[in-house]
Structure 1
Amino acid sequence: MERNISLVSLLCFIIFNGCLVFEADAVKSQRSEKLKLIHRHSPELGHNPGTTLGPPKNSEERLKQLVQSDKARLHAIKRRLGVVGKANDWVEFPFRSAADMGIGQYFVSLRMGTPAKTFTLLVDTGSCLTWFKCKYMCVDCSSVEEGQRYFYPNQSRSFKSIPCSSQECKTIDKASTLVTCPHPNAPCYYDYSYLDGLNVGGSYFNETVKFRFSNGQKKGLEMTMGCTDGLNQKNRFKTVDGILALGLNPLSFAVKAAHEFGGKFSFCLENHWIIKSESSYLVFGAEDQVPNMQFTDLLTEESKMTSLYPIKVTGISVNGTMLDIPSYVWDMTDRGAGGMIVDSGTTVTHLVEQAFEKVIAAFEPSLSMYNKTKGNLDYCFNAPPDGEFDETRVPRVALHFEGGAKLEPAVNGYIFDDSKGVKCLGFTRLAWPQMNIMGNLLMQNHLWEFDLANKKVGFARSKCMLD
């Protein structure tokens, strides 16, 4: 999700510059907190989040929804050109993957306030402001639209407004914080406008978020977030209550929580195409060592896009043969050209034309028995249904990263059902110069760990089963 650069720094939804202060206990055990991530098409939601439509009627409608939402996110990403963690408790939240609606890719349940209430938030890995639909200082706080849910600050004993006259307000984010200050105790206001048309306005606040450990114990941490009382396109948030920010920025929810719980966070992306009742986990902190975890460095020094997760690709291979892709394609510049970002908020993997053409050329001999046809993606072909489609004919793709790590996605990570009798390759072409984006479908069936303290990202094949 992206904000208009005239209002804020791109893709950095700042939570606050008021630093959190965490006091470590004398002795801390290894525990975990999990947020529930809910698949967008899960029966648990009843209908598509943020819309009034029912679930997609078929695979063509489903893929079309994913591709359309990717377009908005890609437009935002291409417009925008460290945390020292400490060993601590680790916490985990059940969650399920969700199709990107331009704001986030996952749903989580978060308990906040005193007494604590549960809110459902979209997870956005490319932003830094966690905000809630909110009713604060309203004339008639009981007047709400049907189906809308809100956070009511006046009902929480731990809610703390940020005065517009405070130093905290002045150091939050000059680009997005409004200078409006009618009187010293008035709230510190913000206004965000996103490139996909979403606009949110409201005031910053401090509030207690409840973390539940795996051993049943609880802990509350004061976090700085946004109370959004001005929101256009409200129908997009009918089934969710706001956004949980996981961007790579010291002000994001992920960075602050990781700082308290071990300097890292992780999540397991289950098979996107299978709707299950089980959940995977969003984990803050260091869990038990995962076998076969591979790591590569986060290129935070090379990139000015501090809210994203850039990594260095060394090449792409198909059936074990490295493709002849120019090396400059993987070199990230400060102008946003080249390189690759890991973005769980994008569905399909986007490759610049120099890489895209080589990948397609490597696939075509094996798929030549199928006629090319039009679909929602750039390369689609006529093929029999899954029960008759021979996956052994599909070439195996691998992405190679600096340091020797190699991602070998499952076939369903890059061959998608588009409509009856039509399948598509899960790659889209980008004109040069732009950056490459690894989407969540290529990441699925893997556990991903973002080690912010050591500036690394790791992954390991996993079935994402609950313990």
Structure 2
Amino acid sequence: MANSLLISLLQIYLLFLSFSTCALGLAKFYVVDLHDLTSKNVCSPPKDMEKIKSVKPTLKIVDRQGPCSTLHPAEKLSPEQILSNDQSRVDSIHHRVSAIAGKGTTSGPLSPSQITAQSGFSYGLGNYIVHVGIGTPSKTLTLEFDTGSDVTWIQCKPCQTYCYKQQEPIFDPSQSSTFMNVSCNSTPCNDVSGNFCEGSSCLYGVKYGDQSYTVGYYAEDTLTLTPDMIQKFRFGCGQNNKGKGIFGEIAGLLGLGPSSESFVSQTSDKYQRVFSYCLPPVSSSTGYLNFGSNSDTSNTNRTPMKPGPFYYYLTMTGLSVADKTLPISPTVFSKPGTIIDSGTVITRLPPDAYQALKSAFRENMTQYKMAQSYSILDTCYDFTGFDNVTIPSVGVQFENNVSLDLDSNGILYPISNTQACLAFAGNSDPNDMGIFGNVQQSTFNVVYDIPKGEIGFSPDAC
């Protein structure tokens, strides 16, 4: 009996050591309850809500398919559909970046003659939504927010050709006392790339890589982010919008990209081009989106960031598995570069970097049965019979010695109750841009400080 007790205590002690993160350099592992990787049927609040509420304005972020959402899609998207759309978004980001580098034609807002012939970037399935008010009196609308998009747009009556189904009533400009069309040849109209005119009115058109599109008037009205009101905010008032099912029942999109027409640029006097968010780890919990210089609610580790055409660029320098740095040359990351994107789901790595990550992860997971590849994910496991699994930590390093230990939800992507995959994918071309996706960003307070040229990260924020 004594020997059995001694053996048990020894096993516990060794287990404790395996999870230790002390300076001895021991391997780092997580014990993960598989039930924590999947969404629940009940909405749970974020951590430290009082601290979050102290920053104004604060918008609640929810996954549009989860129990915290007010949307009620007829059919929820499967993991395969989400990953397939994610790949479409990544393909179009790569195409767009190549176009910027002079390797192809540019894309973005399009004229009516172009809109049937060219594709812009993919709308994707970032899944995260917020609620804002538009007009006077204010009408609450559900928008997806996206750091990879610039033009904010909503559906507007009378929807000359087609409007997809949305949760709230479609915005009626005639019912707002502060609505105005942006005039053609004005500076705001000229700032919208690919602008065109109908009489004296400025029009816009955006077509996404999945063939979804929005076309309409470029307009201005009051935007309400309780308690703040932004006068004469410019946005697309969509008259012809086709979502092919992926828009769900949202009313439109809040563009947080770096270009002049984005929300971030339009509100620079008020919020100093600073914002932060925390993406929830599962669809049954909530996060937040804050604006202003007080968005950094805790000490953050900051890495240099450069706002470029359409995206926010940063420098990834390395990866670690089980707290051991992988032998990857920094040039593997620096040659193609990396963007951070709230609308891309799975982080994309250069082929050599992904191969090193995959190999090291598999070496630390030999106690589990591998499953077939699933969509874009090729390191998958069958956890049938397990309630808890032990997985190695995964770290991502950025310039300025910033190292992020990912949450377990940022390491494994659940496919079912018994199957999960490593939540990373490799690019097919070493010259393709790397993308730091939203699964890996989850639970971090991510601060975009554009005047300082920095992005900050602090863990366990939601």
Residue in 2 aligned with 1:6? none
Residue in 2 aligned with 1:421? 418
Two-structure CA RMSD over aligned residues (Å) = 2.7
User: For 1:407-464, what per-residue CA distance to the aligned partner results, in whole angstroms no more than 9, with x for missing partners?
Assistant: 1012221112223432211111211221111111111111110001111000101242
The 1:238/1:69 distance shift into structure 2, 3 A limit, reads closer
1:286-325 to 2 correspondences below 5 Å: 286-287=293-294, 290-300=297-307, 305-325=308-328
Residue in 2 aligned with 1:404? 401
Alignment-mate amino acid for residue 284 of structure 2 = I
Deviation (angstroms), 1:402: 1.0
Q: Distance in 1 between matches of 2:344 and 2:194?
A: 25
The 1:462/1:221 distance shift into structure 2, 3 A limit, reads farther
- 1:395 equivalenced with 2:418 (yes/no): no
Q: Distance in 2 between matches of 1:254 and 1:352?
A: 30
Deviation (angstroms), 1:246: 0.7
Q: Would the aligned equivalents of 1:290 and 1:460 in 2 still touch at CA under 8 Å?
A: no
Residue in 1 aligned with 2:353? 355
Residue in 2 aligned with 1:378? 378
Deviation (angstroms), 1:256: 2.4
Does the residue aligned with 1:73 lie in a helix, a strand or coil? helix
- Quick one: which of 155, 162, 172 aligns to 1:152? 172
Q: Would the aligned equivalents of 2:71 and 2:250 in 1 still touch at CA under 8 Å?
A: no
Q: Distance in 2 between matches of 1:346 and 1:144?
A: 23
Alignment-mate amino acid for residue 257 of structure 1 = T
- 1:64 equivalenced with 2:80 (yes/no): yes
Q: Would the aligned equivalents of 2:381 and 2:421 in 1 still touch at CA under 8 Å?
A: yes
Q: Would the aligned equivalents of 1:103 and 1:122 in 2 still touch at CA under 8 Å?
A: no
User: For 1:348-381, what per-residue CA distance to the aligned partner results, in whole angstroms no more than 9, with x for missing partners?
Assistant: 1111211011001111222122232213211112
1:201-216 to 2 correspondences below 5 Å: 201-213=215-227
Q: Distance in 2 between matches of 1:386 and 1:309?
A: 40
Q: Distance in 2 between matches of 1:365 and 1:144?
A: 48
The structure with the larger Rg is 2
More helix by percentage:
2
Residue in 1 aligned with 2:203? 189
The 1:135/1:310 distance shift into structure 2, 3 A limit, reads same
In structure 1, list runs of 5 or more residues that go unmatched: 1-29, 82-99, 333-337
Deviation (angstroms), 1:212: 2.2
Q: Would the aligned equivalents of 1:104 and 1:243 in 2 still touch at CA under 8 Å?
A: no
Worse overlay, 323-332 or 421-430: 323-332
Q: Would the aligned equivalents of 1:128 and 1:253 in 2 still touch at CA under 8 Å?
A: yes
Deviation (angstroms), 1:44: 4.6
Residue in 1 aligned with 2:427? 430
In structure 2, list runs of 5 or more residues that go unmatched: 1-53, 98-121
TM normalised by structure 2 equals 0.76
1:68-217 to 2 correspondences below 5 Å: 68-81=84-97, 102=124, 104-136=126-158, 149-164=169-184, 166-168=185-187, 171-173=190-192, 175-178=193-196, 180-181=197-198, 183=199, 185=200, 187-213=201-227
Alignment-mate amino acid for residue 129 of structure 2 = F
Q: Distance in 1 between matches of 2:159 and 2:417?
A: 52
- Percent of aligned pairs sharing the same letter: 27
The 1:420/1:172 distance shift into structure 2, 3 A limit, reads same
- Quick one: which of 327, 330, 338 aligns to 1:327? 330
Q: Distance in 2 between matches of 1:323 and 1:458?
A: 23
Does the residue aligned with 1:314 lie in a helix, a strand or coil? strand
The 1:137/1:430 distance shift into structure 2, 3 A limit, reads closer
Q: Would the aligned equivalents of 2:125 and 2:345 in 1 still touch at CA under 8 Å?
A: no
The 1:144/1:40 distance shift into structure 2, 3 A limit, reads closer
Alignment-mate amino acid for residue 62 of structure 2 = I
The 1:415/1:222 distance shift into structure 2, 3 A limit, reads same
Deviation (angstroms), 1:131: 0.5
Residue in 2 aligned with 1:13? none
Q: Distance in 1 between matches of 2:92 and 2:439?
A: 19
Deviation (angstroms), 1:113: 0.7
Residue in 2 aligned with 1:439? 437
Q: Distance in 1 between matches of 2:349 and 2:340?
A: 12
- Quick one: which of 269, 275, 282 aligns to 2:284? 275
Q: Would the aligned equivalents of 1:205 and 1:224 in 2 still touch at CA under 8 Å?
A: yes
Deviation (angstroms), 1:386: 5.5
Residue in 2 aligned with 1:243? 253
1:245-264 to 2 correspondences below 5 Å: 245-264=255-274
User: What is the count of residue pairs matched by the alignment?
Assistant: 382
- Quick one: which of 357, 361, 364 aligns to 2:362? 364
Does the residue aligned with 2:65 lie in a helix, a strand or coil? coil
